[in-house]
Amino acid sequence: MPVESADIAYDHASSANTTHPYETWEQLRRECPVAFSSEYGGFYFLTKYEDVCQAALNCEVFSSADGTATPPQPIQLIPEEVDPPEQRWFRRVLNPEFAPGAVSALEPKIRVIARDLMAKQRECQQFDFGTEFSLPFPRMVTMEVVGIPASDVENLSRWVGAMATREDIVETELAGISLFSYLQNLVTASRELGGGGLVDSLLHRSVEGRSLTDDEMVRMLVLLLLGGLTTTTGAISGMTLWLADHPEDVTRLRNNPEMIDSAIDEFVRHSSPISHIGRVTREEVTISGCTIPMGARVMLGFGAANRDPDQFERPEEVVLDRPPSRHLGFGLGPHRCVGLHLARLMIRVALEELLSSFGSFRVADRDALRFIGGEGRALISLPLSVSPLEE
Amino acid sequence: MSAKVRVVENQCQGHGQCFIQCPSVFVPDDEGFVIPPEGEVAADLIADVRKAVDACPERALEFIEDYEGT
């Protein structure tokens, strides 16, 4: 018998669910793992690991083509909001650009960016790790990777910054329009003049025997520019918050640098920068005994699934040497994060530079912690008190 | 007795967890997908290969024990 879900009125972008969602997620997982919320025109919300996996892996039933944000955004992003098999064609174009080998070649440049940002704070006793590091670092790396001309970086940083932190609705909207038209011009100019970088390289790749259209290029570039920003910010800030509160883990990482690589994925699981992602059902489907009708918007709770105690022991803790875990911090299935190797590299460089820049660090003002929420959830303000390394 | 590891066809999505857990057995191709390892798993790598199998979120890796080599 289908279970009728009561309205839980869950809003993934509310201030409570942005700042501290864990108790709500825990309660839902226990009492109503396939929940219905009437917010944003109505959607189902999955919070159990197994249920979220089932939906993420079944792209035929759980489609991304009607938008993955709730409510859906006005432009359809490629390849995130395209279903297989078309989705695979676009991924084939992007994958080589973000493969492990291509990404590791970027490490020296990424390290210089991180080191320069950290160096500015070395003499301080206190600074906002969000404003001064975890926000600008991924932004500067992304500009470098996409190949934005130096003269445009300042404007573009302002626009993507406004879109990432969404502090002001009007400003966010204007920034979106500016970014969109900038990218259209960039693609046109690259097509005519060349210019190297990722844009040029994408223009020379083919999709099912043809080249990408300008419109497809712009939809891809918007995703590349925005997709890796607050997500990586969230992972780096989340990691730093945990380490600020757990100096014993800082010591372990200093003494056992070989732990860093697997610790990174544990930090990503713990912070789950993409906490929610939307799908729309193409047919009626049953999840954990609950029937979801055709055409329903369904939100996959990656953040909630990553804290599911049936899948992860002591899920609320960062366990640096946790045995390999099938976490969903980078998503699952055909849509898994295209930039995950770049993200892992940025997180590792951030961690190494943090450890080599300061002897110790702790949260300076817990009331000033500020998160942004929605599909992505990230700590963007993290005031730290720091002390220098002892020589 | 020997062991092998198999990549389930079309299931790898390129998360790269196996490259982290056991880089000497699991190597990415140009798109970032795992190149199916050939031959038997060396005895001293079995523990790491098992970790890689356990770490794959897509369950794309299968550890085959007591494989009868031909």
SS (H, E, C) A62-103: EECCCCCCCCCCCCCCCCCCCCCCHHHHHHHHHHHHHCHHHH
The pTM of the full predicted model, rounded to 2 decimals, is 0.95
Q: pLDDT confidence of A1, banded at 50, 70, 90?
A: very low
Q: Which residues of A72-93 are buried (b: 16+ CB within 10 A; e: fewer)?
A: beeebbbbbbbbbeebebbbeb
Give the per-residue pLDDT at A243: 98
Q: A181: which residues sit within 8 A by CB, 6+ positions away?
A: none
Per-residue pLDDT, averaged over A122-141, amounts to 95
CA dist B12 and B31 (Å) reads 11
Ranges assigned E (strand) in chain A: 34-37, 43-46, 62-63, 126-128, 206-207, 210-211, 277-281, 285-287, 290-292, 297-300, 360-363, 370-372, 378-381, 383-387
Q: Which residues of B1-28 are buried (b: 16+ CB within 10 A; e: fewer)?
A: eebbbebeeeebbbbbbbbbbbeebbeb
Are the beta carbons of B17 and A324 separated by less than 8 Å?
Answer: yes
pLDDT digits 0-9 by tens, A11-58: 999 999 999 999 999 999 999 999 999 999 999 999 999 999 999 999
Are the beta carbons of A95 and B31 separated by less than 8 Å?
Answer: yes
Strands A62-63 and A277-281, by their bridges, are antiparallel
Of B15, B21, B54, the CB nearest to A330: B15
Helix axes A214-227, A136-146, angle to 10 degrees: 150
Amino acid at A124: C
* Alpha-carbon gap: B62 to the closest alpha carbon of chain A (Å): 15
Residue found under tokens 């799908």: A279
Q: What is the ipTM of this complex?
A: 0.91
pLDDT digits 0-9 by tens, A269-320: 999 999 999 999 999 999 999 999 999 999 999 999 999 999 999 999 999 9
- Give the CA angle between residues B13, A223, A134 to the nearest 5°: 95
Are the beta carbons of A95 and B32 separated by less than 8 Å?
Answer: yes
- Partners of A209 in the β-ladder: none
CA dist A63 and A78 (Å) reads 14
Q: Computed over its alpha carbons, how large is the radius of gyration of chain A?
A: 21
Residues of B in contact with A326 (CB under 8 A): 54-57, 59
Of A57, A101, A334, the CB nearest to B28: A101
Taking a C-beta distance cutoff of 8 angstroms, is the pair A179, A160 a contact? yes
CA dist A92 and A97 (Å) reads 10
Amino acid at A170: V
Give the per-residue pLDDT at A2: 42
pLDDT digits 0-9 by tens, A198-233: 999 999 999 999 999 999 999 999 999 888 888 999
B69 or A332: which carries more pLDDT confidence?
A332
Q: State both tokens at A225.
A: 């520019």
pLDDT digits 0-9 by tens, A64-111: 999 999 999 888 999 999 999 999 999 999 999 999 999 999 999 999
Q: Tell me whether A109 touches chain B (CB under 8 Å).
A: no
Amino acid at B44: D
DSSP SS3 for A130: helix
Best residue in A88, A259, A267, A330 for a mutation probing chain B (most B CBs within 10 Å): A330
| DSSP code at position B26 | -
DSSP symbols for A14-30? SHHHHH--HHHHHHHHH
Give the per-residue pLDDT at A74: 82
In chain A, the percentage of residues whose pLDDT exceeds 90 is: 85
Stretch 321-340 of chain A: residues touching chain B, C-beta under 8 Å: 323-328, 330, 332-334, 336, 340
pLDDT higher than threshold 80 for residue A164: no
pLDDT digits 0-9 by tens, B1-59: 689 999 999 999 999 999 999 999 999 999 999 999 999 999 999 999 999 999 999 99
Residue A238 parent element (H or E): helix A229-245
Q: Computed over its alpha carbons, how large is the radius of gyration of chain B?
A: 11
CA dist B59 and B70 (Å) reads 26
Question: CA distances (Å), A35 to each of A3, A6, B26, B48, in order?
Answer: 10, 7, 40, 39
Give the per-residue pLDDT at A5: 63
Residues of B in contact with A323 (CB under 8 A): 51, 54
Of the CA atoms within 13 Å of residue A256, those in its CB half-sphere come to: 12
Residue found under tokens 């997500």: A231
Q: State both tokens at A21.
A: 């969602």
Taking a C-beta distance cutoff of 8 angstroms, is the pair A361, A383 a contact? no
What are φ and ψ of residue A361, in 5° steps?
-150, 145
